[in-house]
Structure 1
Amino acid sequence: MPSDSSPKMYTSNLDVKPFVPPGPNDSRSPCPALNALANHGYLPHDGKEISLRQLIRALTEVFNLSTPLALVLAVGGVLLCGSVAKLTLTLHDLALHNRIEHDASLVHDNAHVGDKFAPTPVDPVLVDRLLDEAEAEDELTADFFGKMRARREAEALVKPLNFIHANFARGESALILTTLGHARPGDDITHRVVSVDAVRDFLGKERFPDGWVKSKETIGLFTIAKLSGIIRKAVLANSS
């Protein structure tokens, strides 16, 4: 049974721990947020047998997710992909195909037919295509992510994502906007925008962008649900 002693958490916006890329024996997932937490030492760097307590603590203290949202994400990961007996999760187990992972990721290739696990390395071609589209934008919005999701789903899917995985996919984009982005003057947390450079570092390199600061507002279930709804409308508007 692994210890619940966690690495020192993020304590201030000037205290981001250094980025250390994964080694050949380290475990990583299709989730850039969890990979970044491991790469910066907020989760065990080897990515193996991470306790439920460690997951919840990292999500709440580093990203300022609400405890209910962190519980949903962490408990869901352990129940669907981890060890229920030990209440632990190894990051690579999140690549189990069609559990939480799904086809038509913005930056990962689809699982090959018959494979138990989806690819975990970022596909540089997909990253470049996303960033090429992003370069035309001043700042990236929910509408941009909806447009990119519509394009990716059109090219990568034989049949549409089911209801659950479609919600997962939109929720992932909502989390990028809320954890990496900032609100324009007068806007609330559901209208955040994110810079191209931040997306390049976070999705392409699985590291925190230089100068990143965590959200001053706690990110909760309602916020993610509302922002996911905005992204859903953009997906539908850009689907043929």
Structure 2
Amino acid sequence: MAAPPSDHPEIDWTKWEPAVRSPCPMINALANHHILPHNGRDITKEQAVKALTTSIKLDSGIANIFTLGALQGNPDHSKHTFDLDMVDKHGLIEHDVSLSRDDLMSGNNHSFNKEIFESVMATYGDNKETTLELASKARYDRLTACKKAHEAAGKHLEYGLKEFIFSYGETALFTAMLGDKKEGTCPIEYLRIFFEEERLPYKEGWKPPASPVTQSDMNHLIFGLLTAKAHKAAEASQVGLGTVQAVQAAVTSFLHAPSFCTIM
């Protein structure tokens, strides 16, 4: 799908009920565009992989990893399908420290939270594009806010190496999908539309990446985010590895055998 048809009807992107949606803006957008079943139900592996590879140009390997993760959310493993709200299972794909959703302890880790998202976007200020430095800072600022909220509530924040890699993988993914996967930038306008309206910003000028987003592209962006941040030592301590070098070694080992998919 290179572009919507010229007669594509105007859609109120917030009106999807009684269909179901996930905590992931990417797969929600595909359902909102009717690229995946609009009702969000009984999605097959073949449907999901085709949507991810043709509409947003993910490499087939990444698309398969993401889809296999989603399929694990169905409690009936004999069906080989998933509904979008099954992706909501905490610790499977969904995790704390989301850029657009509240943490599990809030009671609603599923729905878009405008207050949280605006706090993330404040990091970008008046910039028209994201950068690796600002995107990394936005992630860390969100982690800091979540940690404070958990401490105030007397709760433990679940944020170790797995969640750390998921988080930076998500930022790498939306950067590669919406912007320049080599430079690590994407238009702020596209980012807002993607998260707030859960649609692909075709009418604002977005086009799918010219070439598939590969694991190599993802690794390039993840390490760009890791090396760009000024808070390396503090986050290394948070994930329990102590030093920046230990974090980089652990991430390298993890990415050499990638088996993760992400929720933003």
Q: TM-score, normalised by structure 2?
A: 0.76
d(CA) in 2 for partners of 1:38 and 1:202?
Answer: 13
2:175 to 160, 174, 177: 177
Provide the residue aligned with 2:199 in structure 1: 207
Residue segments in structure 2 that go unaligned for 5+ positions in a row: 148-155, 235-264
Provide the residue aligned with 1:219 in structure 2: 213
Identity over the aligned pairs, expressed in percent?
25
The structure-2 alpha-carbon separation of the partners of 1:153 and 1:84, relative to structure 1 and needing over 3 Å to count, comes to same
d(CA) in 2 for partners of 1:174 and 1:110?
Answer: 21
The structure-2 alpha-carbon separation of the partners of 1:222 and 1:84, relative to structure 1 and needing over 3 Å to count, comes to farther
1:135 to 111, 119, 125: 125
Flag the structure with larger Rg: 2
**Count of residues paired in the alignment:** 221
Provide the residue aligned with 2:49 in structure 1: 56
Cα RMSD between the aligned structures?
Answer: 2.2
Residue segments in structure 1 that go unaligned for 5+ positions in a row: 1-9, 183-188
d(CA) in 1 for partners of 2:97 and 2:210?
Answer: 31
2:136 to 131, 146, 165: 146
The structure-2 alpha-carbon separation of the partners of 1:109 and 1:67, relative to structure 1 and needing over 3 Å to count, comes to same
d(CA) in 2 for partners of 1:20 and 1:191?
Answer: 33
d(CA) in 2 for partners of 1:77 and 1:152?
Answer: 25
* Residue 110, structure 1, aligned to residue 103, structure 2: yes
Aligned-pair distance for 1:70? Answer: 0.7
1:107-148 Cα shifts (integer Å, max 9, x gaps)? 1111127x6xx5222101112222333233231022221111
d(CA) in 2 for partners of 1:106 and 1:81?
Answer: 25
d(CA) in 1 for partners of 2:131 and 2:219?
Answer: 16
- Greater mean deviation of Cα atoms: 169-178 or 14-23: 14-23
Conserved? CA contact 2:70–2:86, under 8 Å = no
* Residue 44, structure 1, aligned to residue 42, structure 2: no
Provide the residue aligned with 1:97 in structure 2: 90
Aligned-pair distance for 1:168? Answer: 1.2
Conserved? CA contact 1:64–1:219, under 8 Å = yes
d(CA) in 2 for partners of 1:82 and 1:239?
Answer: 39
Structure having the higher helix fraction is 2
Counterpart of 1:192 in 2: which secondary structure?
Answer: coil
d(CA) in 1 for partners of 2:75 and 2:200?
Answer: 25
The structure-2 alpha-carbon separation of the partners of 1:41 and 1:82, relative to structure 1 and needing over 3 Å to count, comes to farther
The structure-2 alpha-carbon separation of the partners of 1:31 and 1:235, relative to structure 1 and needing over 3 Å to count, comes to farther
Conserved? CA contact 1:180–1:214, under 8 Å = yes
